[in-house]
Amino acid sequence: MFSRPALVVFGVAVVEFFLFVYLVRAFGAIPITLLAILLSVGGLYYLVRFTPKALRRGFRQLVDSGGDVSTKDAGDQAARVVAGLLLAVPGILTGVGGLLLLVKPIRNLLSPAIGMHVVQYVPTGPIQAITSFGRRGRGNIIDVDVVDVDGYSSKTEPTSSNPPELL
């Protein structure tokens, strides 16, 4: 009925709401609201300031290595981007999750697992990795050679007297 990512987002939103209500009852509305705003603003700052550098570094490493990137390196770069996104989303749970991903020992622990998912979706080869980023490996790449058939080549334009033929 619903996709798994939609259910995860809905579940996180519900947990965020109940956690926020619980913390407001325990500590008061003003400190918890300020904490949520501070985490979100800090996450946006991190996204704008550091995430483009991490993405550039990751792409440069991908191109330089010819598409062979270790899962730990790919996971480390992806964990930094995910940390920024989690921090930017308003909420206490996502903010704490983003802060935890910024801690180096925790990121080192999780980066191989995150990297396996990232490497799974990045095609091999530098040109393919850059041109098909985000396609998740869907579709096939077909290598085509142009062959001269009955005097027709790719250099001559088809006309009514010289139409291309399908074989």
* pTM (predicted TM-score): 0.62
The pLDDT of residue 126 is 45
CA torsion 103-65-130-9 (nearest 10°) is -30
Q: Quick one: angle between helices 29-49 and 92-102, nearest 10?
A: 40
- Residues 98-109 have a mean pLDDT of 90
Query: 114 falls in which pLDDT band (50, 70, 90)?
Result: confident
- Residues 128-134 have a mean pLDDT of 46
What are the residue boundaries of the structural domains of the chain, listed by start? 38-131
Q: Which residue has the higher pLDDT, 112 or 35?
A: 35
Q: Indicate the DSSP class of residue 63.
A: H
The pLDDT of residue 130 is 45
Query: 21 falls in which pLDDT band (50, 70, 90)?
Result: very high
Q: Please, what sign has the CA dihedral across residues 79, 82, 86, 87?
A: positive
CA torsion 8-1-116-87 (nearest 10°) is -20
Instruction: Round to whole Å and give the CA distance between 6 and 10.
Output: 6
Is the pLDDT at 135 greater than 60? The verdict is no
